[in-house]
């Protein structure tokens, strides 16, 4: 039984969600917590052994009891961020927004089986007349099979990029999430389906799965939404998702050298789902990325490249000629980011950072007759400088300045407060 308890604690260590990998501080806190629990288990084990040794031989052994994980079986989680944006050339556009508050739970049915769920409210007020939104961000069950292999089913985050599975405000630099991982990779991106993941002793982790995908019939060529984020405009988020065509994904991440993460992912799937009278029945969405993160000493360096394509859309785009937002056949973006952890001062840790990103949400259109080609999107660049101030392990205050290369009217000062637990 006690071996089972230890195994459960050990398994729990290995079962740390990938979401924590990019947040060293949060990861360290959780390891410390689990280590404390492990010490507690060891003490209980010693006490149990001592009690058994002292017990009379004639006393029968207690009937086997199902293994009980130590500590609470159900854990409440949450994160949130309240942001302030002030365009420097248009103070009338200044806004404060309770961008999102997320509450969740993780419940272990047994040492190998758990359910994870997160519920999100965006923009403070959700009603028919307000801009807010309520959503189930994740809801999946996961089972561990040993040898580092886990399987999950339900609505879960795609293992893409650096931010999608690690999107808590304490986990990234800057008040707002970076543009590449919102406009190109539609963070927070989740799909419903099945997934497998595992890891090897040499630091390689892998993910693979089959899930729902995008619904191209949702494309609204009269809206700017598709130009802001092509995939964000057609994601389904597990809401009555069309599922005739399923998508597949895979990801590899290598952590063989301390402080280094190198990885990539790919997602592909058809996006028409047999929709009646839809002229792009063979449309396919593909998105891939490559990323790296290196944390030598006090430095935290990251880089990412992501590229998406939507193929088989010729006949569809013909029907959209002249509209502001036809379907792009290619979109991409990349960024580099550097941060430096200044020495902690008690509970306070200040980390200045800088990020430069370039992205184009409509890098190419295809299949338009001569004279009807829409103008390709602009390759945009955004520079961000600022700092995160950590207070303890769960609270962060942020400030940064963003300069937009193509439209200085968008230049803005951002302030934010965030938390995660």
Partner 1 sequence: MIPRLSLILVSLLLCACGGGGAEPAATPAAPAVNQMSSAARLGAKIFADTSLSASGRQSCASCHDPAHGHAQSDSLAVQLGGPDGTTLGFRAAPSLRYLAGAGAFRFDKDGTAVGGFDRDGRAATLADQAKVPFLAPHEMANANPAEVIARLRQASYAAEFRGVFGDAIFDQPDQAYDRVAFALQQFQLEDPAFRPFDSKYDLFLAGKAQLNAQELRGMAMFNDPNKGNCAACHPSARGPNGAPPLFTDFSFDNLGVPRNFKIPATARADDFDLGLCGPDRTDLAARTDLCGAFKVPTLRNVATRKVFFHNGVFDNLTDVVTFYVTRDTDPARWYPRRADGSIDKFNDLPAAYRANVNTSEAPYNRQPGMAPALNPQEIADVVAFLGTLTDGYRP
Would you say 52 or 222 has its CB closer to partner 1? 222
What x/- string results for residues 307 through 346 when contact with partner 1 is judged by CB under 8 A? --------xx-xxxxxxx----------------------
Contact indicator for 111, 69 with CB cutoff of 8 Å: yes
* Kind of pairing between the strands at 348-364 and 380-391: antiparallel
The whole-angstrom distance between residue 200's C-alpha and the CA centroid of its chain comes to: 22
Q: Which of 65, 92, 276, 375 binds partner 1 (CB under 8 A)?
A: 276
Which pair of tokens denotes residue 46?
């010693």
Phi, psi at 54, each rounded to 5°:
-85, -15
User: Considering the rule CB under 8 A, would residue 278 count as an interface residue with partner 1?
Assistant: yes
| DSSP H stretches of helix in 222-266 | 225-228
Q: Residue 265 Cβ, how far from partner 1 at the closest point, in Å?
A: 29
Would you say 68 or 373 has its CB closer to partner 1? 373
Taking CB under 8 A as the binding criterion, the range among 38-46, 157-165, 215-223, 343-351 that sits at the site for partner 1 is 215-223
Contact indicator for 160, 265 with CB cutoff of 8 Å: yes
Q: Residue 319 Cβ, how far from partner 1 at the closest point, in Å?
A: 5
Q: Residue 167 Cβ, how far from partner 1 at the closest point, in Å?
A: 27
User: Considering the rule CB under 8 A, would residue 283 count as an interface residue with partner 1?
Assistant: no
CA–CA gap between residue 368 and residue 320 (Å, rounded) = 10
Q: Residue 133 Cβ, how far from partner 1 at the closest point, in Å?
A: 16
Q: Residue 340 Cβ, how far from partner 1 at the closest point, in Å?
A: 46
User: Considering the rule CB under 8 A, would residue 255 count as an interface residue with partner 1?
Assistant: no
Would you say 56 or 371 has its CB closer to partner 1? 371
Would you say 177 or 273 has its CB closer to partner 1? 273
∠ at Cα 320 (372, 225), nearest 5°? 115
User: Considering the rule CB under 8 A, would residue 277 count as an interface residue with partner 1?
Assistant: yes
Taking CB under 8 A as the binding criterion, the range among 42-50, 249-257, 365-373, 380-388 that sits at the site for partner 1 is 365-373
List, in order, residues 6 or more apart from 185 with CB less than 8 Å away.
160, 161, 163, 164, 231, 287, 289, 306
Q: Which of 36, 76, 342, 372 binds partner 1 (CB under 8 A)?
A: 372
CA–CA gap between residue 371 and residue 416 (Å, rounded) = 46
CA–CA gap between residue 343 and residue 329 (Å, rounded) = 47
Cα→Cα distances 387→166, 198, 274, Å: 19, 35, 48
CA–CA gap between residue 284 and residue 312 (Å, rounded) = 6
User: Considering the rule CB under 8 A, would residue 371 count as an interface residue with partner 1?
Assistant: yes
Please give the residues from 394 up to 413 whose contact with partner 1 meets the rule CB under 8 A.
Answer: none
Contact indicator for 201, 158 with CB cutoff of 8 Å: no
Q: Which of 132, 279, 352, 394 binds partner 1 (CB under 8 A)?
A: 279
User: Considering the rule CB under 8 A, would residue 369 count as an interface residue with partner 1?
Assistant: yes
Phi, psi at 25, each rounded to 5°:
-65, -45
Please give the residues from 33 up to 52 whose contact with partner 1 meets the rule CB under 8 A.
Answer: none
CA–CA gap between residue 149 and residue 197 (Å, rounded) = 6
Q: Residue 229 Cβ, how far from partner 1 at the closest point, in Å?
A: 16
Taking CB under 8 A as the binding criterion, the range among 151-159, 214-222, 247-255, 283-291 that sits at the site for partner 1 is 214-222
CA–CA gap between residue 311 and residue 328 (Å, rounded) = 9
Residues that bind partner 1 (CB under 8 A): 129, 217-218, 220-222, 275-281, 315-316, 318-324, 369, 371-372
């Amino acid at each position: 039984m006690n071996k089972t308890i230890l195994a459960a604690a050990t398994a729990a260590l290995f079962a740390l969600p990938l979401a924590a990998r990019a947040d060293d501080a949060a990861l360290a806190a959780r390891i410390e917590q689990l280590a404390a629990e492990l010490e507690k288990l060891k003490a209980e084990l010693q006490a149990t052994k001592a009690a058994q040794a002292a017990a009379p031989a004639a006393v029968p052994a207690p009937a086997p009891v199902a293994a009980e994980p130590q500590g609470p079986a159900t854990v409440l989680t949450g994160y949130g961020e309240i942001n302030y944006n002030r365009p420097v050339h248009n103070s009338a556009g200044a806004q404060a927004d309770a961008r999102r508050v997320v509450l969740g739970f993780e419940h272990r049915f047994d040492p190998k089986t758990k359910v994870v769920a997160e519920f999100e409210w965006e923009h403070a007020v959700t009603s028919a007349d307000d801009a807010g939104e309520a959503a189930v961000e994740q809801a999946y069950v996961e089972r561990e099979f040993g040898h580092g292999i886990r399987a999950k089913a339900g609505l879960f985050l795609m293992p893409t990029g650096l931010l999608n599975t690690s999107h808590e405000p304490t986990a990234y630099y800057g008040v707002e999430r970076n543009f590449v991982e919102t406009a190109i990779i539609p963070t927070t991106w989740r799909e419903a389906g099945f997934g497998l993941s595992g890891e090897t002793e040499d630091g390689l982790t892998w993910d693979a799965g089959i899930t729902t995908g995008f619904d191209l019939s949702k494309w609204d060529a009269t809206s700017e939404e598709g130009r802001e984020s092509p995939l964000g405009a057609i994601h389904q988020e597990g809401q009555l998702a069309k599922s005739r065509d399923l998508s597949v994904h895979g990801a590899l991440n290598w952590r063989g050298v301390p402080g280094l993460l190198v990885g990539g992912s790919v997602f592909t799937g058809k996006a028409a789902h047999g929709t009646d009278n839809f002229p792009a029945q063979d449309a396919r969405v593909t998105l891939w990325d490559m990323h790296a993160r290196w944390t030598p000493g006090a430095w935290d360096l990251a880089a990412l490249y992501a590229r998406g394509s939507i193929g088989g859309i010729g006949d569809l785009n013909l029907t959209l000629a002249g509209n502001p937002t036809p379907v792009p056949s290619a979109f991409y973006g990349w960024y580099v980011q550097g941060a430096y952890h200044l020495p902690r001062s008690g509970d306070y840790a200040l980390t200045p950072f800088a990020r430069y990103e370039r992205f184009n949400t409509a890098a190419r259109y295809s299949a338009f007759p001569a004279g009807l080609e829409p103008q390709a999107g602009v390759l945009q660049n955004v520079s961000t400088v600022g700092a995160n101030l950590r207070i303890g392990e769960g609270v962060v205050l942020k400030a940064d300045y963003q300069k937009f290369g193509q439209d200085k009217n968008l230049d803005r000062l951002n302030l934010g407060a965030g938390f995660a637990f």
